[in-house]
Structures are given as C-alpha cells and as structure tokens.
Structure 1
Amino acid sequence: MGKRIISQRRGRGSPTYRANSHRYLTDAKYSAKDKKDVSEGVVVAVDNDPGRNAPVALIKFKNNDKRYMIASEGILVGKDIQVGAGSKRDLGNVLPVGDIPEGTPVFNIEIRPGDGGKIVRSSGMSAIVSSHSGGKTVVKLPSKTFKSFNSMCRATIGVVAGGERKIKPFGKASNKSFNRKARGKLYPITSKTAMNAVDHKFGGDNKGVPTTSSRNAPPGAKVGSIAARRTGKKR
C-alpha cells in the first residue's frame, strides 16, 4: 500500500504546511478614516515584515495614531506623509487616483473605494496613471494591461521599496529554507520522478507511467494531467 502524497498531507492542515501568520507584522491597509480629510504624519520607522517581501513604514499621525504602510522607494525616517483627498502630490503620499496626474507611478491601489489597497504591493512594483475620464481612471499595471478604476480609489505615489531584492543571492540552502518556511511553503521540493514508488504515482524505477489520470481516479493517483483530451505540443 502506498503512502499519502504531499498534496494529501497538505490538505490535512497540519502545522508543517501552515503559514506562521501570527508572526506577520501588519496587513498594511489604508484606514477608512482618511477617505475625505487630509491626515498628516511622519515616518518614525521602517521595519521588515516576515509576511511580505517589501519593507513597511510606521507612520505616526498628529492625533497620535500609528499605522503601518507599504514603504515607497526613497522614503526616509522623518519624512512628512499626507493621506487623504487634497494631499500634496509627493512621494509616499496617499490620495485618490483621480487626483494623481497622468504619468505618475503609483502602488497599493484599491480595487473598490475603501477596501484598503489590493494590488501592486510587491517589492519594486509600480503602475502608471494613464488617463482620467468621467469618474474613471485608467492605470497601466506592471503586467502591461490597462485597468479602469473608480477615481475615488486610493493609491500611494511612488514605487514599492525593495526592488533590488532579487539581485542578492540566497547564498546557501538554509537562507532559502528560512525564507520559504516563514510563508508556510515546502522546501526543498523533491522531483516526483525521484521519489520511491510508495510515495508517488511517478516514483520508482519504472519510468513509463503515463502522466494522464482519469477523472474518477482515487485520491493519491489523481495527479498529472487530469482527464486530458490530449497531451504534448500541437503539431
């Protein structure tokens, strides 16, 4: 009798495959308080968040409220930050995309007004404001696609910090292991054809096993190309 494959073990929900989200620092969302009035604050710290690959900036506002925001490239401790409609069009400030001039790089954009920011949040990412028309703003995303947003959706001016993160190599396997474990990812990943026959359908010395599986295959055998009409390149 074979063993359960990794996807079956993962589905059980054991701590081995569960992300340590209780160690994450913040969700780095916009506050609902800043929709209309301008809130002024200052950057008091730039911290690392294990749950993301971009640094986060701690902003202390004049009402003594403290909130984390995704840091923009070039931001420094002591820099003044404004959040809300009517804010200055300056690096790191947050305001509706409808108030941001065309050609300006932005990040952490709301899909719906008030959702706190959903897209363009990874290190080094930015989108470009393309045009404004009739309460809608068209933005060019990092994928080169154009997407229309409600002009009241908020965004941060600038580029997400940490853009050169991938230039530095991990150097050794332990660094890569700690990086993946922080997000609940399995590392290292063993090739299925390198496994034993009891561990996976593709394992063992017999390499002639088809990569297709029936739609009604039992769990553990339902791997590869499931119910495929055809495989390989079209010729």
Structure 2
Amino acid sequence: MGRRILVQRRGKGTQNFRSPKHRKRGAVKYIPRNYNDVLNFEVIEFIHEGGRGTPLARIEFDNKKRSLWLPPEGIFLHDRFQIGPQTEIMVGNTMEVQYIPEGSLIYNIEILPGDGGKLCRSGGTTATLMTRSEKGVQILFPSGKRKVIHKNSRATLGVVAGGGRTTKPYLKAGNKYHQMRTKATNWPVITSSGMNACSHPFGGGRKKMSGRPTTTSRNAPPGRKVGMIAARQSGRKTR
C-alpha cells in the first residue's frame, strides 16, 4: 500500500492541518444591495482577526444593525460613512463603480453586483478605476492586470488599512511559525530530498539526491506516487 506521506496527510484535512475557523469574527462583506436608499453607518470598534493581515471595523447603521467592515487607511473611531448606489465622493464611502470618478483609488470590489466584495482586500492594496465603456468599467489592479467589471458592482474609496504590516521583519522563526499556524499554511516548505525518509520516498540519506528513479508508474501505490508520474520521457531530448 505504500506510506502515507506528509502531503497526503495534509490533503486529508485532519485536525493538525485545518484552518482554525473558531477564531474568525464573521463574514466581512457588503450588506445586501439597496437600489434606492443611502445608508449611514458609524465605526464603533476596531478588532483583530487571527490569520487576517488587515484590521476589521465593527460598524453600526442608523437602524441599529451591526456588521463587519473592511476599513481604509486614515479613519478613526466614531467616523461616519455612507453606502448606497451613489454617495459623496469621500474615502470610506461605498458606491457603484459607474458613479466613481476615473483615476480614483478603490478596494473591496465586487465581481458581480451583490456578491459582497471579492477583489483587492489585502492590507495596503488598492486598485485604480481607469475608463468606462459599454461593456463595463475597467479596473487596474496592483498586479498590473486590467479587468472589466459590471457597472453596478460596488467598491469602497481608499486604500485598505494595515499596509505597513509586511515591512516589519519577523526576527525569529517562532514568530513566523505562529503566524503561518493561524493561516493553516504549510511552513517551512522544503524539497522532497530534504525530508525524512518517513515523510517522502525521496527523503533520507546524506546527500541531496533521491536515491531512486524520479519517474513513477501510473499504477504505483499512493505512498509511492510522487515525482514525474507516468512520464513519457526523461532526461535530455535527442535529435
């Protein structure tokens, strides 16, 4: 049957490899669409969520309903903002992209109207609204990619808070370990030949070599099926 290597145990999703969802504060997305009214809300609290690189804000609407919000840089407690189809052009306000001026910095952008915000949500990031056309509104993202989205999709003006987080060094491996643990991220990442023999078929030994062929049969058992599976050829091509 072969061995249950580390990659297989991780993919199974057992307790040691699951994301700690009990630390999550809740869904961070826009409220359901309201096509007519403009709602006002106030920031009442800033909170931290384990595994998330940006701070969260707890907001309260005029009707006393509360929600979680992804705040921009430069705001304070008890600041008031608006969300609606068309609001005042101000950092922190949320509106449809068809009413946002060209060249504005926006974040937490909806791919489809009403999905609650999917794009540009990590700390310190922002996108730029470029041009409008009959097909939709063109957005320039930090990666340099341009995407056309629906004109009724909503976005928030400003830059996501928490931008200076990545400039601070970890200093110790333990700090890195605990942060990756909250995100359920595989760390540290090492090569297969650097693992122990119990964790990978290529592991063990004193040198950085697999010690066996790296091509594997299609019919190999699960613990052995690593490397180049059912390779058509290996090595240099001959002319």
Tell me, yes or no, whether TM beats 0.5.
Answer: yes
Please give the secondary structure, in 2, of the residue aligned with 1:164: helix
TM-fit CA distance, 1:68: 1.0
| Match of residue 63 from structure 1 | 63
Deviations along 1:35-70, one digit per CA (max 9) or x if unpaired, are: 442100111122111142111111111111111111
| Match of residue 28 from structure 1 | 28
Please give the secondary structure, in 2, of the residue aligned with 1:43: strand
Within 5 Å, which residues of 2 pair with 1:36-75? 36-75=36-75
Q: Give, as a single letter, the amino acid of the residue that structure 2 aligns with 1:37.
A: D
Residue 219 of structure 1, aligned match among 210, 217, 222: 222
Work out whether residues 33 and 114 of structure 2, in 8 Å CA contact, stay in contact via their aligned partners in 1. no
Within 5 Å, which residues of 2 pair with 1:55-134? 55-134=55-134
Deviations along 1:157-211, one digit per CA (max 9) or x if unpaired, are: 1111111111111222222122111122233445421223332121122724344
Residue 212 of structure 2, aligned match among 203, 206, 209: 209
Deviations along 1:70-89, one digit per CA (max 9) or x if unpaired, are: 11111211211101112111
Work out whether residues 72 and 161 of structure 1, in 8 Å CA contact, stay in contact via their aligned partners in 2. yes
Answering whether residue 16 of structure 2 is matched by residue 16 of structure 1, we say yes
Deviating more after overlay: 168-177 vs 157-166: 168-177
Q: Distance in 2 between matches of 1:155 and 1:199?
A: 46
Percent identity, please.
Answer: 42
Q: Distance in 1 between matches of 2:81 and 2:216?
A: 56
Q: Distance in 1 between matches of 2:69 and 2:224?
A: 45
Please give the secondary structure, in 1, of the residue aligned with 2:44: strand
TM-fit CA distance, 1:95: 0.4
Q: Distance in 2 between matches of 1:8 and 1:167?
A: 34
Deviating more after overlay: 44-53 vs 81-90: 44-53
Please give the secondary structure, in 1, of the residue aligned with 2:10: helix
Within 5 Å, which residues of 2 pair with 1:146-165? 146-165=146-165
Work out whether residues 96 and 153 of structure 2, in 8 Å CA contact, stay in contact via their aligned partners in 1. yes
TM-fit CA distance, 1:146: 1.1
Q: Distance in 1 between matches of 2:235 and 2:96?
A: 48
1:232–1:153: structure 2 CA closer, same or farther, 3 Å change rule? farther
Work out whether residues 103 and 128 of structure 2, in 8 Å CA contact, stay in contact via their aligned partners in 1. yes
Work out whether residues 56 and 70 of structure 2, in 8 Å CA contact, stay in contact via their aligned partners in 1. yes
Deviations along 1:89-126, one digit per CA (max 9) or x if unpaired, are: 11011100111110001111111000101111111111
The CA RMSD over aligned residues, in Å, is 2.3
Deviations along 1:109-156, one digit per CA (max 9) or x if unpaired, are: 111000101111111111110111226111111221111111100011
Q: Distance in 2 between matches of 1:233 and 1:36?
A: 66
TM-fit CA distance, 1:233: 9.8
Please, what TM-score do these two structures have when normalized by structure 1? 0.90
Please, what TM-score do these two structures have when normalized by structure 2? 0.88
1:215–1:2: structure 2 CA closer, same or farther, 3 Å change rule? closer
1:188–1:87: structure 2 CA closer, same or farther, 3 Å change rule? same
Deviating more after overlay: 184-193 vs 196-205: 184-193
